[in-house]
C-alpha cells in the first residue's frame, strides 16, 4: 500500500490560495467553517486523512492528471455555475430501478433527498420515469459478462433534448449496465460537462453482479429490429440493499460534482477521487475533503453547518423499520418502505464530529 502525502504548506495553498482576493474571501468565512477546513493541513487530523493506493490499477497510478486546487477551480472560465433561473438538478430514471413499482419510486426518492442535502440550497426534481425504448439508444450483450448494456452516448443525447429550462443539470440513472463505445467493456457513468448532462448505472453495485449466480445474463440477443426493446421487459434488477444505496449515492454525487467543475481530487481521501474499479470506489469516502468542500460551497453558497445537519436528517428520516434489504417482492399497495441506511451509520458519526468542530 502506498500513501499519497502532501506537505502542510502544499495543502494550505491548495485550500486557501496565495491570491490575496481568495485569501481575503477565505478569511471572511465563518470561524467554525475555517476551523473545519483548516483540518486539511493538520497532520494529526482524525477527520481528513491521506489518499491510499492499493494497486497499480488504482486511478491515480493509471490515469495521471494535474491536480486542481481551489484557485484553479475558481478561475476556470468553463466552469458551470448555478444561477437563479438555472437552479435545479433533474433526475431521470431509465428503466425500472426496483423489483416493484413501490421499490422503484421509493429508491429514486431516497436519491433525490440525498442530493438535496448534498447540494444543499439547490432544488432537486424528478422527471417521469421512462422505459429504455423511449431513449432510442443502441444496446448489446457484453461478450465477457453476458449482461445487457445500453449505449451511454445515445442516452446523453436523449437527456440533452429533455433538459428543462430551469435545469442546472440533468442526470439519468439506470439499473442497466452502460458501454461508451464498442471497444470498451463497460463504464459506470458518463457526463458532458458543457451540456450539463450525465448518465450513471448502478447495475454493477448489486452484491451478485460478479457472482456465478448473477441472474442478468442473456444467452443470445434476439432482436427483430433496431426498435425492438422487448428484451428489457422484466429484465433482472438487483435487490436494493443498504450497500447498493450507499454506492448509488456516492456515484451520483461524485458525477454531479464533476458537472460543477470539480476535477478528480488528489489531495486527501475524498468523494471526488477517481476510481477504476468497485473495490477502489468502496474505499472512497462519502465526504468531500476541505479543498473540494470549499469548491462546492463557492459554487452553491451553502452554510456548511446547515448542509451537514441536512445530511444527518436524511440518514435519520424514515429509517425506522426492519433493517437490511428492502423486500424482493413487495405488494403494490405497500406504504413507505424503510430506507436501508445501516451502511451510512459510520458516516453519520463522522458528520457529528465535524459539527462539533464547526459549532465549538
- C-alpha to C-alpha distance for 107 and 48, rounded to whole angstroms: 30
- Residues in a beta bridge with 177: 149
Q: How far is CA 19 from the centre of its chain?
A: 31
C-alpha Rg value of the chain to the nearest Å: 21
Identified catalytic residue from 255, 318, 342, 346:
255
- Residues in a beta bridge with 200: 173, 189
C-beta contacts of 53-56 below 8 A and 24+ residues apart? 53/1, 53/2, 53/3, 53/4, 54/1, 54/279, 54/280, 54/283
- DSSP reduced 3-state for 7: coil
Widest pairwise Cα distance in the chain: 66
- C-alpha to C-alpha distance for 18 and 14, rounded to whole angstroms: 9
- Residues in a beta bridge with 167: 88
Residue burial 335-358, b: 16+ Cβ < 10 Å; e: rest: eebebbbbbbeebeeebeebbebb
Quick count: other Cβ atoms within 10 Å of Cβ 9? 9
- C-alpha to C-alpha distance for 159 and 173, rounded to whole angstroms: 11
- Residues in a beta bridge with 94: 130, 174
Q: What is the DSSP letter of 245?
A: H
* 33 is a catalytic site residue: no
Q: Which residues are catalytic?
A: 255
Amino acid at each position: 500500500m502506498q500513501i499519497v502525502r502532501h506537505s502542510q504548506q502544499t495543502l494550505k495553498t491548495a485550500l486557501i490560495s496565495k491570491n490575496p482576493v481568495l485569501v481575503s474571501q477565505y478569511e471572511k468565512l465563518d470561524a467554525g467553517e475555517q476551523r473545519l477546513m483548516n483540518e486539511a493541513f493538520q497532520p494529526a487530523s482524525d477527520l481528513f486523512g491521506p489518499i491510499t493506493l492499493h494497486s497499480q490499477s488504482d486511478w491515480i497510478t493509471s490515469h495521471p492528471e494535474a491536480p486542481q486546487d481551489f484557485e484553479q477551480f475558481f478561475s476556470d472560465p468553463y466552469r458551470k455555475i448555478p444561477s437563479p433561473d438555472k437552479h435545479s438538478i433533474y433526475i431521470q430514471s431509465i428503466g425500472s430501478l426496483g423489483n416493484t413499482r413501490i421499490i422503484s419510486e421509493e429508491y429514486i426518492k431516497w436519491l433525490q433527498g440525498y442530493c438535496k442535502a448534498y447540494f444543499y440550497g439547490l432544488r432537486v426534481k424528478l422527471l417521469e420515469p421512462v422505459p429504455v425504448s423511449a431513449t432510442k439508444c443502441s444496446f448489446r450483450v457484453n461478450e465477457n459478462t453476458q449482461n445487457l448494456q445500453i449505449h451511454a452516448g445515445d442516452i446523453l443525447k436523449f437527456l440533452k433534448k429533455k433538459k428543462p429550462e430551469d435545469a442546472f443539470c440533468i442526470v439519468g440513472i439506470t439499473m442497466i449496465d452502460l458501454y461508451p463505445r464498442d471497444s470498451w467493456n463497460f463504464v459506470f457513468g458518463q457526463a458532458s460537462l458543457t451540456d450539463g448532462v450525465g448518465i450513471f448505472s448502478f447495475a454493477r453495485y448489486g452484491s451478485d453482479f460478479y457472482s456465478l449466480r448473477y441472474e442478468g445474463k442473456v444467452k443470445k440477443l434476439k432482436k427483430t429490429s433496431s426498435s425492438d426493446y422487448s428484451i428489457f421487459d422484466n429484465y433482472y434488477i438487483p435487490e436494493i440493499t443498504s450497500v447498493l444505496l450507499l454506492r448509488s449515492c456516492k456515484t451520483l454525487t461524485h458525477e454531479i460534482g464533476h458537472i460543477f467543475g470539480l476535477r478528480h481530487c488528489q489531495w486527501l481521501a475524498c468523494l471526488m477521487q477517481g476510481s477504476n474499479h468497485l473495490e477502489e470506489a468502496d474505499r472512497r469516502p462519502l465526504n468531500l475533503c476541505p479543498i473540494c468542500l470549499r469548491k462546492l460551497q463557492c459554487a452553491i453558497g451553502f452554510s456548511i453547518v446547515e448542509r451537514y445537519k441536512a445530511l444527518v436528517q436524511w440518514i435519520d428520516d424514515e429509517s425506522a423499520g426492519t433493517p437490511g434489504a428492502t423486500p424482493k417482492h413487495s405488494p403494490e399497495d405497500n406504504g413507505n418502505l424503510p430506507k436501508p441506511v445501516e451502511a451510512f451509520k459510520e458516516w453519520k458519526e463522522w458528520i457529528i464530529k465535524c459539527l462539533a468542530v464547526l459549532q465549538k
